[in-house]
Amino acid sequence: MRPDSRIWSFVVPIAAVILALMIASIVILLIGKNPVVAYEALIKGAFGGRQAIADTIIKTTPLILTGLAVGFGFRAGVFNIGAEGQMIMGALIATVVGINLGGVPPVIAIPVTMLIGMLAGAGWAAIAGYLKAKTGAHEVVSTIMLNWIATYLSSYMVTEPLAVGSGTPKSPEIAESAKLPPLLTIGATEMTSGIIIAIVAAIIMYIILEKTTTGYEVKAAGFNPYAAEYGGISISKNITMSMAISGALAGLAGALEVMGVHHRFLGTLSGGKGFDGISVALIGQNHPIGIMFAAFLMASLRTGSNEMQFVGVPKHIIMIIQGIVIFLVAADRIVRTILIRKKKVRS
Amino acid sequence: MPPSLGGIELDKEYAVVMKGITKRFPGVLANDHVDLFVEKGEIHAIVGENGAGKTTLMNQLYGLLHPDEGEIYVFGKKVHFKGPREAIEHGIGMVHQHFMLVDNLTVAENVVLGSETKKGFLFDLNEARKVVKDLSEKYGLLVDVDAKIEDIPVGMQQRVEIIKTLYRGAEILILDEPTAVLTPQEAEELFEILRRLKKSGKTIIFISHKLNEVMEISDNVTVMRLGKVTGRLKTSETNPKEIARLMVGRDVVLRVEKENKEPGDVVFEVKDLWVKDNRGLDAVKGVSLKVRRGEIVGIAGVAGNGQTELVEAITGLRKVEKGKIIFDGIDVTGFSPRELRDMGMAHIPEDRLKYGLIVEYPAYYNLILGRHHRFPFSESNFLNKRFILKNAEDLFEEFDIRPRKPEMLGGNFSGGNQQKIVVARELSHEPKFMVISQPTRGLDVGAIEFIHKTILRMRARNVGILLISMELEEIFSLSDRILVIYEGEIMGETRPEETTFEKVGLMMAGHRLEEVER
């Protein structure tokens, strides 16, 4: 199998997951537990029963979207490390609008709230894109700073102007008409229909990247900005636009969390899912389909880990698994680069 | 007829004999029973097109690769090198195409790196400086021993590489395409050095695909084609035409014939153009020029005299500080690359890997770059894959791009075929005016012939062409008018039939036409 073939891109992440599970099982053995029992619990926790599956799918939804956000950025040559902040802004603004949509029919309220969330994320990311295009300020630095601004702005909003109740800082609930209808209700768990929107988003991203002129330009700018500019593609326009699209996806993740899961803005709503998007994109090799599977894998590990805790294996084992998978996928890039370069030297 | 044994003449003393060398790479037979005989104290040229197996052969002599079959003798002794270290011990030194120097160390430090001069346990810099100075004087290799590599010109860096091999006791020097990175003047200096080295008894193996150099410097020539030796010639008894035929496998036109042609009206004009370089210094200082339809205007000059900035300004990639660019009667100063392309300007860039190609894109996508947003390749923002593939198939056929695999990534084609992809794309735009920069850099004879013919075909189709090249040969054989650029200024205008290499060379060194003519 050639290291630059397409099949290789599928085989590597799968092999990485298997290898990671094997290495983690050694760690489990070292702490005196039985890996078979642990993994049994992990699988049961993630897929044992309708409730577990629903939980896994709920967790998958935002990870697909933040993964797409980061992955799209990578394809366009920008490292959007600010999906976290864009997700927060998407959720916050969607909440503010959603609260005030009482009396508007759902057919209008739902798309409007969703769109507002996307616009908020897009706008937030476009700031970093614009700064990079105009001044050359690196997007890693500016998106990290924007993350902090979003974090503190949102916690101010839910402790002061929007605050309700006591305990965790939170906003009031959004209007009934702006809530996403659940796909399934199992006991107390409402499985959000957001998953469908996330899958549609992945398909749209695939079409944009592979079938449209915009995708051609975005990827060209990502691969080789000099050649792209030579070919009449405006780099500054592309950077701003790519960041905005990336941010819109992260903003959508936030809006869907509000509309389909929490129905209000919570201080802990994002909980690092924006950063998880980086891992998801990496494991999914920046490909929309790969990202969907990677998000599902990470969500399964997360839901399953609670059950694993019950059989006495600390849930942090899954962090080890996740870390090893990312390491191996990244190592594959290194191996591949070396293999391909070697081939070039010889010819 | 001297007694001979399978090509070896017994009355001669050989520095290197390689017999029946065969080297296979997956899918490629890089060397197919290659015989090489290098006499002691000669300059031996190995010529062949890119991919003929020259470098592979030399890497085996230097111990970097190991032959699958065959024997190697150095000074009559059979050798099996495990690595370069053993080759060096046997007196072999190699100067690679890409220098292996540490940028922020001095010349002296670089030379001794790996086998340092020592005083007790400590590095003895003074001794190193002295050794390097002695070597430099003995062989006339002018270097500044205390300068850092990053501060010295390419020509001097190459001399440092040569001193490095001499310091390690090299008796046989392998130089892989040594003039590829040099200006004509620097190349001339290098040849002087090689002649001196030969006089002092060193043996030199010189890899090249530039025939005039081979004719000038070598005693014997081994010609390779597709991994095989196709000729073993005495330089004094052959000519460039014969070598070219052995290299390419057919007759090659070394200097294309240009038909006489009256140019049309002015299609492109630059008036008092000022452009800055990346450091913010003036790189183009008040250049004015005109190009007519069906005319080739050549700009000659040593690299780094403002050509890059001039081209970038003309094609919309760099800001114009002052002056005017007029294209097809319209003031296009400040237009974007896309606007200029849409108006009918094409551009073959000097650096095809940086500007000309997206190496991660398949060839069929590279062949639409710049027109990807226009019908029929794009329709309401959707790519039309059918037309894109059809376009690629047509251009692959018309320009004989190999292999015939439009789905192969741009980066996986050979240099010559990458350039064909760029040329094919730019010509298929049906341009009115073309900027062509270093069109044949790094290409072999067969590809050069093809590119030159193509450029003249565009001239016959009434396209105005601005040709920028560092190869004087190229400028002379293609241009209708020649402009010489030096430090961002035009030194003068002349015609190839009215001037000589020497006169243009003087202008390239900063003398104005009036001084040269006097």
Distance from CA of A227 to the nearest CA of B (A): 4
Q: In whole angstroms, what is the distance from residue B9 CA to residue B27 CA?
A: 35
Q: Taking a C-beta distance cutoff of 8 angstroms, is the pair B47, B243 a contact?
A: yes
Mean pLDDT of A281-302: 91
Report strand pairing: B296-300 vs B345-348: unpaired
pLDDT tens, position by position, B435-462: 999 888 777 777 888 889 999 999 999 9
Q: Are B372 and A231 an interchain contact pair (Cβ–Cβ within 8 Å)? A: yes
Residues A78 and A141 in one domain: yes
Please tell me the predicted confidence (pLDDT) of residue A168.
80
Structure confidence at residue B509 (pLDDT): 76
All domains of chain B in start order, with CATH: 12-248 (3.40.50.300), 266-517 (3.40.50.300)
Chain centroid to CA B334: how far?
Answer: 32
Report the gap between the CA of A237 and the closest CA in chain B (Å).
13
Q: Is the peptide bond before B403 cis (omega within 30 degrees of 0)?
A: yes
Between CA B261 and CA B238 the distance in angstroms is: 35
Q: Tell me, what's the pLDDT at B501?
A: 80
Asked if the model's pLDDT at residue A330 lies above 90, the reply is no
Query: What pLDDT does residue A277 have?
Result: 93
- Distances from the Cα of B266 to the Cα of A263, B292, B297, B462, B485, angstroms: 69, 4, 12, 11, 21
Compute the average pLDDT of residues B329-340.
93
Give the pLDDT band (50/70/90) at residue A345. Answer: very low
State phi, psi for B88 to the nearest 5 degrees: -60, -40
Spell out the residues 6+ positions from residue B351 whose beta carbon is closer than 8 angstroms to its own.
none
pLDDT tens readout for residues B480-498: 999 999 889 999 999 988 8
User: What value does the mean pLDDT take over residues A78-104?
Assistant: 93
With respect to residue A40, please indicate whether it lies within any of the assigned structural domains. Answer: no
What pLDDT does residue A12 have? 79
How far B369 CA lies from chain A's nearest CA (Å)? 5
- The alpha carbon of B29 is separated from its chain's Cα centroid by a whole number of angstroms, namely 25
ipTM of model: 0.81
pLDDT band per the 50, 70, 90 thresholds, residue A346:
very low
Tally of domains within chain A: 2
Residues of chain B contacting A227 with CB distance shorter than 8 Å:
354-358, 369
Lowest model confidence (mean pLDDT) among A110-124, B245-259, B482-496? B245-259
Is A227 in contact with B336 (Cβ distance < 8 A)? no
pLDDT at A2: 53
Provide mean pLDDT across the span A49-60.
89
Asked whether residue A324 is domain-assigned, the answer is yes
Q: What's the Cα-to-Cα distance from B338 to each of A143, A233, B88, B444, rounded to whole Å?
A: 30, 7, 54, 32
- pLDDT tens digits, one per residue of B160-206: 999 999 999 899 999 988 887 676 777 888 999 999 999 999 999 99
The DSSP output letter for B253 is -
| Residue B359 contacts A, CB cutoff 8 Å | yes
Same domain, A224 and A324: no
Place A323 in a pLDDT band, splitting at 50, 70 and 90. Answer: confident
Same domain, A157 and A8: no
B133-146: average pLDDT: 88
Confidence of residue B2 (pLDDT cuts 50, 70, 90): very low
Do strands B330-331 and B345-348 pair parallel, antiparallel, or not at all (unpaired)? unpaired
Mean of the pLDDT values across residues A96-120? 92
Range of the domain at A233: 54-313
Residues A151 and A71 occupy one common structural domain: yes
pLDDT band at A272 (very low <50, low <70, confident <90, very high): confident
**For residue B357, which residues of chain A lie inside 8 Å, CB to CB?**
224, 227
Chain B: closest CA distance from residue A219 (Å) = 9
CA distance B84 to chain A (A): 16
Average pLDDT value for residue range B344-363: 90
Angle at B176 between CA B170 and CA B180, to 5 degrees: 130
User: Locate tokens 């030796």: which residue?
Assistant: B229
- Mean pLDDT confidence for B214-225: 92
Query: Is the pLDDT assigned to residue B45 strictly greater than 90?
Result: yes
Please identify among residues 367-386 of chain B the ones whose CB lies closer than 8 Å to any CB of chain A.
369-370, 372-373, 378, 381-383
- Res B4: pLDDT: 44
- In this structure, is residue A203 part of a structural domain? yes
Of A70-84, A293-307, B110-124, B304-318, least confident by mean pLDDT is B110-124
Q: Is residue A45, in this structure, part of any structural domain at all? A: no
Half-sphere exposure of A179 (CA within 13 A, CB side): 15
CA separation for the pair B386, A335 (Å, rounded): 35
The length of chain A in residues reads 347
Assess whether A291 and A347 both reside in one domain.
Answer: no
Residues linked to residue B39 through DSSP beta bridges, in sequence order:
B14
pLDDT attached to residue A347: 42
Q: Answer yes or no: is A39 within a domain.
A: no
Cβ neighbour number for residue B98 with a 10 Å cutoff:
9
Q: Say what the pLDDT of residue A233 is.
A: 92
**Residues A167 and A306 reside in one and the same domain:** yes
Which range has the worst mean pLDDT, A44-53, A139-148, B116-125, B401-410?
Answer: B116-125
| Contact between A220 and B361 using a beta-carbon 8 Å cutoff | yes
Whether residue B407 lies within 8 A of chain A, CB to CB, comes out as no
Cα distance between residue B241 and residue B431, in whole Å = 34
Give the lowest-confidence range in A258-262, B48-52, B310-314: B48-52
A308, A346: one domain: no
What is the pLDDT, as a whole number, of residue B421?
Answer: 93
pLDDT of residue B232: 92
- Confidence at residue A32, expressed as pLDDT on a 0 to 100 scale: 87
Query: How crowded is residue B512: how many other Cβ atoms within 10 Å of its Cβ?
Result: 16
**Are A299 and A327 part of one and the same domain?**
no
Q: What's at A25, amino acid-wise?
A: S
Q: Are residues A339 and A291 in the same domain?
A: no
Q: Which residues of A touch B28 (CB under 8 A)?
A: 347
For A35-49, letters b (16+ CB in 10 Å) and e give: beebbebbebbbeee
Average pLDDT score over residue span B7-32: 81
Residue B351 has pLDDT above 90, yes or no: no
- Model pLDDT, residue B107: 92
What is the residue type of A346?
R
Does some domain include residue A163?
yes
pLDDT at B295: 94
SS (H, E, C) chain A: CCCCCHHHHHHHHHHHHHHHHHHHHHHHHHCCCCHHHHHHHHHHHHHCCHHHHHHHHHHHHHHHHHHHHHHHHHHCCCCCCCHHHHHHHHHHHHHHHHHCCCCCCHHHHHHHHHHHHHHHHHHHHHHHHHHHHHHCCCHHHHHHHHHHHHHHHHHHHHHCCCCCCCCCCECCCCCHHHCCCEEEEECCEEEECHHHHHHHHHHHHHHHHHHEHHHHHHHHHHHCHHHHHHCCCCHHHHHHHHHHHHHHHHHHHHHHHHHHHHCCCECCCCCCHHHHHHHHHHHCCCCHHHHHHHHHHHHHHHHHHHHHHHCCCCCCHHHHHHHHHHHHHHHHHHHHHHHHHHHHHHC
Chosen for mutation from B55, B318, B358 (greatest number of chain A CBs closer than 10 Å) is B358
Residue B3: predicted pLDDT: 41
Q: Please give the pLDDT value at position A1.
A: 46
What pLDDT band is residue B1 in, cutting at 50, 70 and 90?
A: very low
Average per-residue pLDDT for chain B: 88
Same-domain check for residues A188 and A161: yes
Residue B348, SS3 per DSSP: strand
Residues of A in contact with B365 (CB under 8 A): 216
Residue A308 lies in a domain: yes
**How much is the average pLDDT of B267-293?**
92
> Does A142 reside within a domain?
yes
Of the candidates B224, B254, B298, the residue with the CA atom closest to the CA atom of residue B450: B254
Assess whether A327 and A285 both reside in one domain.
no
The per-residue pLDDT for A83 is: 95
- Whether the pLDDT of residue B211 is over 70: the answer is yes
Residue scoring higher pLDDT (B40 or B140): B40
Cα Rg of chain B (Å, integer)? 25
On whether both A329 and A204 belong to a single domain, the answer is no
> What average pLDDT does the segment A269-292 reach?
89
Q: Give the pLDDT mean for A145-159.
A: 92
Q: Is the pLDDT of residue B426 over 60?
A: yes
Q: What is the pLDDT of residue B154?
A: 76
- Tell me the residue type at A305: S
Asked whether B143 and B149 are in contact (CB, 8 A), the reply is no
Judged against a pLDDT cut of 80, whether residue B269 lies above it is answered with yes
Q: Which of A137, A115, A100 is nearest to A254 (CA)?
A: A115
Q: What is the pLDDT of residues B374-423, one digit of tens each?
A: 888 988 899 999 999 999 999 999 888 888 889 989 888 877 788 899 99
